[in-house]
Structure 1
């Protein structure tokens, strides 16, 4: 019964508090009861003692009053003196009885009190009444004779003595009562402390039990989450909590999150596997068959068909291209019109169809022995740029899950591109083949026509040819200036296209190299895992460079579309703090953000571009600042401009370099890249984005004191936005006109850097590698040593010269160009000054691939030149040439 009840944390705490309150209540009730009893006892004793003393005094007073009244009457004969006497006689016995009731439990006092009674009665009988009677009868002589013996005086003296004795006894009794009360009070105090101690112990035990029941389960959850979060943790791990409280709910919620992450990880790994699978396939049928073979097991499908779109307009149809686990050509229709059946409807509506437990369906799934009817059928459209390319149909003995649908949705996003690319390449090859045939036929026809008319038109053709040549020369001269302007655009388009083309294989490189580097299955040795880490790190750096080039090329090609909306300026500081506070804390630099008091809350501009400008400027500021501060300030100028300044206390920029740094791939000097990293594209991108937003950027800098970049941005009205968009559209139109020429240029450049590899033996050759980048050193040393070469590494030019002075028997030198302290150019010049090193082959390695850089390397003393990223087959081929020449010499 209790196990079924849900004890949440609040219930446990409330029960704990309730039990503690019960303990405190019991303690309070016990102490209160004892205090009340003690108080009642004190009141009883106090009242009794006071009453006893009062009664003793009253009886004594009555006796004295009777004696005094008696003597006054005897002396004066005035009967008014008898009033006190009569009153004393009438009330002393009542007071005596009351006193007797109080002290009847004390035998000694009781005896003395009884003697007092006898004495009073005896006095009244023997002294009081007789003398008063004598006085009333005028028997003066008898009275005098009576007083000569005066028995009454002796009785009264004896009575006073007894009263004093009783009073003293009662005083002693009161003192004893007081001592007894003090002892009881002391015991009460000790009892209170004991009760408080017991209540505290019980409360502590209750609190410990409640807190332990809560903390124990929390620690269990935290321990499991920590294990999952560790590098070796598995997403398949689940949290098990036995308690039925909020912690169990937390554990269940965490388990749901882990299940979601595990599913997402499964989807991502399969999507990456599919992306790798499609690389290098140039046949649509092979692509379709590979897709079905790969995807069907992922979604537990036991049958699959791949339909490709054919035709255009109303003639569009789906043709069966490949199947998975098909039972023959009769399974599945060969051709389906758009809208025909569910497959045709899927193609027409371009949406997913899922049918569970189809009725009266002919068996599709077969083995060698039996046929099965599918439990679930799934049809998925494959699209590219909102155009249908294919339809995939799967059937399964089990129901398709939401995870399967999510996987297919993710795969479909990129697979449409692969289908379109492969189909496009096949169509291009077909058209090229047809074009070649037609060209040959046309050339034959032209040759025949020329031969038949040559003798009639020879002179005319010669004159016409000269005229055309003159016109062509004139057109070429007119187009020359235009081509000069277009050349920059060619470069931009080429960079943009190449950036897009590079990202696809690079993504695969990053994913696969990361998987290899993690080496979860421990299938790679330490060196191989190291290779993978270097590949992944280099790929990440390359991806950042490609992103920067892509942004710059989009701007220059006019393909950046502005999205103008209300930008909340009050939110930007928090966004910047989230990004750069960790960097500031790591470098121990103050990061200050100031907002002008009259700054409006909302500004009309492109918020995404504005944030990119700020991030680039702040990244530069933190990169070049080692101490001091970086300040970001927003102001509203009197010209209704938004002024944003980024001020740092870094290395500063010389005045002669302040315009140069806004150009692409430019930095202050060669050492800047080596010391601080970067490509030199950040400020160029900032400058171009500021221009697009209709603003300007200013720089104020002093060497070793810091720099201040100030961006001025206007409010973008609809009129300004329309003019910017018009300029972008014109640039984009120009870019499209030059697309064909850009593709030709791209092919030519690719052909220039492609060489056929040859193999040779390098065993025993001594190579000096001069390179400062640890990643390149790691990769090159292992590649060269794999050819059994002896490799010596120098981290810079000075170290290279020191090594060569000590040993000059190297067969070849691989020289990096951009290095700190002494770059490759200066090092090669110094080497060639030495007569022993003039014939030593030097191959220059540089990331710059321009013709002027090659000439500069050769002028500095390089034997040959190769650009980065290095193709090892090219490098080995080049090394083979120079090593062969060295042997020949």
Structure 2
């Protein structure tokens, strides 16, 4: 949660105070290093709100604040305007643009709202309070106490406000803003011409891509059916061998000698490994095909962690040089998800951590990241994974060769299956690792699994402009097919350069950005965007992102979406809905 530090305050009693408010806002924005246009936007918003206070309430006050995040980084310039006037009637209609007034009342308030990144208003017969903020991008170190005091002294010693000079400055700012609008208009006209000339080719390409996508879908379904059918067929003979081995070991048909017990033990161990492989293959095929059922149920987090502790203790007996510790949370938390699938994810991660730790520790912890989500951490002090191999560990049957570990039990399916299951539970699995020092696996998922089937709400996406920046034609096509029923306006760009004109001319409501672009990396393109545009970006990638990657990208986008999720289409639509909803209810 952000903290706020008061910077300065002003009282509004007459017209000169309105001008003083505007100048103060611009002076603070300049001190914080905002661009010229951002300074104008802040000053204009403050000026309109101050004028409203003077015209409709008579007197009021403005307080400017610095907003810091939990790490102490400066993230926004905020202000709070208060008055004890009669309140603002029909405030909702004013803010959504439906209110019509012959006198122009409400136009300035709505304009101020649109110029700020966050805006909250409380109004009634006892008065009005408005809290607003303009974000700083990128976040930066907060100014020192000495710097703040020096700036406050400078503000206090500035001369009397000159209204005529302020009119001249506003005229210059208006010319600058008008020049920007003219440039945007020219870019928009050029983009429209380009779109019109390429439309015929796009239609033909869609037809070809639709057939290719259908062929790929049929091939994928055939593969899933093959895995499912074959693994089911394998289970019958495997069960027979397992049961026969147990029967022989029990001595029901005569006592075995030492050599026979050894031989039957080998058979029993081998068939157990084969049974595990078949089970994992079947689970993976079902997860990939989307046929795997999720059975949510209520349980306590402490009880679940005790179950993991029991599993870890049993497994540790086979690896006496590894200390496996499952740490209980400070307080219990009610969960409502598929407990068996969640246990399967953590079981695979713990087994993997212990096997790749010749000597050392494995620690399992859980954290409540917010009121709706939890994060499990499985951390080991083992051999680690080189950065170039970290994406491969989530591929089926992939086994990374490790010096000094000549024999590692397993099928190469544990981590891919765990990632699929995490996606199935509406969560995500990621890792960070350092070769020779160990690995950390993170499982994030909601406390309560919920199916988001709300087709009626999706009608609200009609007309939403979605820009897809992706060099893969098939991926762009699949996004288009997923969004087709929602009647959105879809714009496509296959390179970063091709997207730049569209970004500034159209200012799309939603931007789906792939990180692997052929000319400029998606991350570099993201960094070049302004803060307001960052809030419209959904990173749409097939790359396996580590914890550090996600921490770096998170402040620059609304969400990060994994293309490999089994419920990708549903997750895509849900992410777009959340983004559009957050903008509609901003402030």
Question: TM-score interval w.r.t. the shorter chain?
Answer: 0.3 to 0.5
Report the TM-score when normalising by structure 2.
0.39
Instruction: Determine which structure has the larger strand proportion and give its number.
Output: 2
Report the TM-score when normalising by structure 1.
0.26
Higher RCO (CA 8 Å, separation ≥ 6 residues)? 2
Instruction: Determine which structure has the larger helix proportion and give its number.
Output: 1
